[in-house]
Structure 1
Amino acid sequence: MTPLRVLILEDQPFQRGYLANLLHALPGVVTHTSGDAANAVAMCDLFDYDLVITDLMMPGVDGIQFIQALAAKEHHPKLSLVSSAPPRMLTSARLMAESLGLTVLGSLPKPVTQADMDALVAQLRVAPLTVPAMPADAAPLTPSRAQLRDAIAGGEITAWFQPKKSLDSGQVVAAEALVRWCHPTRGTLPAGVFLPLIAEQGLEPMLLRHILVESVKAQARWREQGFRIPVSINLPPHLLERSSLPDELLELTLSHHGRPGDLCFELMEGSTTAHVSDYYAGACRLRMKGFGLAQDDFGQGLSSVHNLVSTPFTEVKIDRALVTGCARDPALHGALATVIALGTRLGLNIVAEGVETDEELATLRKLGCTQVQGYLISRAVPADAFAALLGREGSVHPTPPCH
């Protein structure tokens, strides 16, 4: 087992020693401590920590300023907030840290118990590895429009699939298609690295069609195994300004022997149509063609209750901002309960994103959430790996007999 290196930043000596003792009880953990944020910043220059546990309310340089300094460094350890601050302050601090590119494993109110620390370290061990920052002297990723087109057409940019599990059966019941670039020299690149470039070059329609075809082909292979798996595909809402888009997507689906009812388009955050009429027209026509329709990232940004009740959605996806910490934060718990109750009354499939702990999973199950996805279930994987996952875990949507 590779040792985990953890830094504790806590200005109160008793609390600092107490947290260190909790970690010392766990095998394979090397613990360093600091009572001063400026000193902790310097320690992060000397050691590549796997996890930093920090208080917020400290004299001098406070926890917020420390997090901002941490985010500016080349190596980004995971972060956990431990504080007696009000829950909503902890939530704001977590959102701030995540917006700076840090991974926050949890916010723990004081007093922290041994069980809390056990769960935090267990979560750290299964968390995805931090992607190393690009060296300062590395050439930036600046592909031309032609290179991006070739990467899409040639299959370098392709669909990976993240499973969705039913909270009723515990089995895989659906998947979300996520974009990855298997770059010939830089390895596998996540969507956030290149999607803005694709948008700048006006290649989103081409990418949407490509991911649709990749998804339909993957579904065909899964059906050969005996599994019928609906797939969700991200769709930037501004593309609905093209009035013929629903017809084009249906034609493309049918030409590749796909089933509209097994595909769901997730209307993404971050864009909308210039005229609201195009948004509603496109949403209605997608549903009329038989496709499912999901409100993505509900709980942040442009999503709203009015939008949820006035658009013919079949699914609502609860943003991870409402999920992370929901087992401990009464405000998040109450917001989740309200959203899930509303989705249930509207007859929607309710999917929670970003589920990373057993406690979050148990909370969502109690509140009546339908499905979950996140690192606790599985990361996104290529279609063949998803097929192997189905073989291990099964599905509650077996392929119906042919007629």
Structure 2
Amino acid sequence: MRPQRILIVEDQPFQREYLLNLFRELGAQELRAAEDGSDALRCLEQERFDLVVSDLMMPGLDGVQLIQRLAALESPPLLAIMSSAPRQLMGSACMVARAHGIAVLEQIAKPARAPTIRRLLDKLATRLERSERRARQPLPAPTGEELERALRRGELRAWFQPKSSLIDGRIVAAEALVRWEHPQLGVLRPPDFMAELTSAGLDETLLWCMLAQAIDAQAEWARQGFRLTVAVNLPTHLLDDRGLPDRLAAFVAEAGAVPAHIVFELLECSRTVSPANYYAGTCRLRMKGFGLAQDDFGQGYSSLYNLVSTPFTELKIDRMLVHGCVDDEGLAAALESIVKLGRQLGLEVIAEGVEHPDELALLRRLRCDCAQGHLISEPVPPPVFTRLLCQERPAVAH
């Protein structure tokens, strides 16, 4: 993999030299330094960087203003925010970046320490490796007709991402995630086609497709001695159809599967036309025996009231609360509170987007139930998932 290109933005000369030396000692090679936000923008006009490590409190163009200017770039770099300011202020700056679509890899308290910078470089290497694997020419948006044809031909396939127990590290469940196994373009991820699929009104068709494949995978795992629940994403607006819970129950029964082993994760990409449809749909799904997960808790429309008023069986903590939790006392406290709340409500608590061993260790100390993310495994095809299970014998029931 090519060397990582990093720009350090720090107005204090001593701190700037200290950071450059620290990054070099930990293996960073292509480093540049900027004296303030304006100098950083000049550097960014001249060359592209993979990561910008920026102070917040700077004269002239401060760190928040720099973030706002970064958002105007065609391909904004990844970001690490660094400051001696209170954690809440850094957290707010992170929210500014994320609202502009800029990924924040780390919040660094001054003075920066070697373990924090080493973790930052590890995360950067993982992100760059992942990006290089996915790099390709921009794809033309598929038409509704192409997507309908792909569904008929069975090209939209369920890949499975493991959920690992934080007690013993074993795989105890899976989430079915769609991949388009395109005959010419290779494996396409949801950002390449999901917006068009939704616009074409194919959400429910995809739901049935994913559910059928999840049940088939469960049956195969059961033949090898593994009993796992599988989560399937359900766009919330489909609950406007009052007959959907009945059809789902009938489909699962006909396939010989068990509703309790299917969890529907309610997606926040859409909402029902009325709260009554939402509550009726979720109640009836639970009455049929299905599990329900509050997805992405901590962002979007998810709320404490929604959590306690809906018959969920699982709570999935949003990845934005997990990233940076190791060095951010505020995030760590929020995570601890969410885990405790989930346990008090009798919910299984799952942390999403885990990318670093330190995050996993903290979640384990907080007694979170399960973790899911690229540190454990990316989504994989069913045969690969089966191999992962077989490597963990004896099987653990869940």
Structure 1 residues 139, 370: CA separation in 2 closer, same or farther (over 3 Å shift)?
closer
Distance (whole Å) between structure 2 residues aligned to residue 175 and residue 153 of structure 1:
25
Give, in angstroms, the shift of residue 45 of structure 1: 4.5
Higher mean C-alpha deviation, range 291-300 or range 219-228: 219-228
* TM-score (structure 1 length as normaliser): 0.91
Distance (whole Å) between structure 2 residues aligned to residue 200 and residue 29 of structure 1:
45
Give the 5 Å matches for 1:386-401.
386-394=385-393, 396-398=395-397
Structure 1 residues 368, 199: CA separation in 2 closer, same or farther (over 3 Å shift)?
same
- Structure 2 equivalent of residue 107 of structure 1: 107
- Structure 1 equivalent of residue 131 of structure 2: 130
Higher mean C-alpha deviation, range 66-75 or range 369-378: 66-75
Q: Secondary structure at the match of 1:130?
A: helix
Give, in angstroms, the shift of residue 41 of structure 1: 3.0
Give, in angstroms, the shift of residue 164 of structure 1: 0.7
- Structure 1 equivalent of residue 209 of structure 2: 210
- Structure 2 equivalent of residue 37 of structure 1: 37
CA-based RMSD? 2.3
Are 1:348 and 2:347 counterparts? yes
Distance (whole Å) between structure 2 residues aligned to residue 28 and residue 302 of structure 1:
40
Give, in angstroms, the shift of residue 73 of structure 1: 3.1
Give, in angstroms, the shift of residue 125 of structure 1: 2.3
Contact 2:296 2:302 in 1 (8 A): yes
**What letter is aligned with 2:158?**
A
Contact 1:181 1:188 in 2 (8 A): yes
- Structure 2 equivalent of residue 277 of structure 1: 276
- Deviations 1:160-207, CA, capped at 9 Å, x for gaps: 211111011111111111222233444433223322222222111101
Contact 1:355 1:374 in 2 (8 A): yes
Give the 5 Å matches for 1:245-394.
245-394=244-393
**What letter is aligned with 1:240?**
L
Contact 2:389 2:395 in 1 (8 A): no
Give, in angstroms, the shift of residue 397 of structure 1: 2.7
Distance (whole Å) between structure 1 residues aligned to residue 169 and residue 48 of structure 2:
37
Distance (whole Å) between structure 2 residues aligned to residue 379 and residue 108 of structure 1:
27
Are 1:201 and 2:224 counterparts? no
Aligned length: 396
Distance (whole Å) between structure 2 residues aligned to residue 104 and residue 166 of structure 1:
27
- Structure 1 equivalent of residue 221 of structure 2: 222
**What letter is aligned with 1:83?**
S
Contact 2:143 2:196 in 1 (8 A): no
Q: Secondary structure at the match of 2:151?
A: helix
**What letter is aligned with 1:190?**
R
Give, in angstroms, the shift of residue 396 of structure 1: 4.8
List alignment gaps of at least 5 residues for structure 1. Answer: none
**What letter is aligned with 1:283?**
T
List alignment gaps of at least 5 residues for structure 2. Answer: none
Distance (whole Å) between structure 2 residues aligned to residue 139 and residue 124 of structure 1:
25
Distance (whole Å) between structure 2 residues aligned to residue 157 and residue 251 of structure 1:
23
Q: Secondary structure at the match of 1:264?
A: strand
